[in-house]
Structure 1
Amino acid sequence: MGEMVIREMELADVDQVMEVEVATFAAPWPTDIFYQEILDNEHAFYFVMELDKKIIGYIGTWIVIDDMQITNIAVTPAYRGMKLGEMLFRYTIQFAIKLGVARLSLEVRKSNIVAQKMYRKFGLVPGGIRKNYYAVDQEDAIVMWVNL
């Protein structure tokens, strides 16, 4: 594998991030949401994972006071199963700890067992269910969280 870099997302990254988004999610976010997050949301922190200067993954977060919410995390399908999502998640947790974040939470599809197993590796535990959370198919989300 070539040179791997994780860094803060910039406006110039949005087109490549959208490629990852569209390849990953049945209901991808529209492009303008990413621009709004970067430009207008003081609580948003987004990071990209680059392999040889090509974005192959990203993670989005909101930090409010000492709580971090993961808004989304994705790795291009061709690079899944290589522990890159774990690397990106670990980087984000380390970033959060440096900022004094006390709790991290996220929603994950009830059917996404692979992601749930990864989150459990980082100590996240189920804390509840959001019924019919996903608009496309009304699948439930499991809320997972951990104290950092």
Structure 2
Amino acid sequence: MLELTIRKMELSDIDQVMEVERASFTTPWSREIFLQEIVENQHAHYFVMLIEKKVVGYVGMWIVIDDAQITNIAILPALRGNKFGEKLFRFTLQQAIGMGVKRLSLEVRASNTIAQRLYRKFGLVPGGIRKNYYKDDNEDAIVMWVNLV
């Protein structure tokens, strides 16, 4: 059985997080953005998923008062389809609830039906559209949200 761990992201994780980021997104965040999120953003909470001590996924969220916004979530493409994203998202929801969050939202590409299906499993529903949200191809984002209490 593989050792799977989810824990708070540390500065030493950023290089491996960047591997997941570059493999997952056409316009990846920079190393500096992750550094700023971890060190300077008091609202940011980032977690990594490790298998045998290697980062295979991560998630970030901002919490302001009792609202949470998922900033990003990614699993290495080679490992998708193994319910790792579901485990990471469940963990994130548990963390949010433990921090007093009442509502959680995120944006997801209109074409990313696999992610939308995952979010619906956890009660998220579409709440709106952000036209031309993604700058790489002007794709719309669907805003999804859920009340946690």
- In the superposition, the TM-score normalised over structure 1's length comes to 0.99
Partner of 2:112: 112
Q: Deviations over 1:84-124 (max 9, x none)?
A: 00000000100111111000000000000000000000000
Partner of 1:5: 5
Partner of 1:87: 87
Partner of 1:42: 42
Report SS of the residue matched to 1:41.
coil
CA distance in 2, matches of 1:24, 1:144: 20
Report SS of the residue matched to 1:82.
coil
Report SS of the residue matched to 2:61.
strand
CA distance in 1, matches of 2:73, 2:59: 4
Q: Map of 1:117-128 to 2, 5 A cutoff?
A: 117-128=117-128
CA distance in 2, matches of 1:43, 1:61: 8
Letter in structure 2 aligned against 1:101: V
CA distance in 2, matches of 1:117, 1:29: 25
Letter in structure 1 aligned against 2:26: A
Report SS of the residue matched to 2:37.
helix
CA distance in 1, matches of 2:93, 2:75: 17
Once the two structures are TM-superposed, the CA of residue 136 in structure 1 deviates from its matched residue by 0.3
Once the two structures are TM-superposed, the CA of residue 78 in structure 1 deviates from its matched residue by 1.0
Q: Deviations over 1:59-92 (max 9, x none)?
A: 0100000000000000001110000000000001
Report SS of the residue matched to 1:38.
helix
CA distance in 2, matches of 1:127, 1:13: 34
Percent identical residues: 69
The number of residues matched between the two structures is: 148
| Superposed CA RMSD | 0.5
CA distance in 1, matches of 2:46, 2:99: 14
Once the two structures are TM-superposed, the CA of residue 23 in structure 1 deviates from its matched residue by 0.2
List runs of 5+ in structure 1 lacking aligned partners.
none
Residue 76, structure 1, aligned to residue 106, structure 2: no
List runs of 5+ in structure 2 lacking aligned partners.
none
CA distance in 1, matches of 2:88, 2:94: 10
Residue 99, structure 1, aligned to residue 126, structure 2: no
Letter in structure 1 aligned against 2:132: N
Partner of 1:54: 54
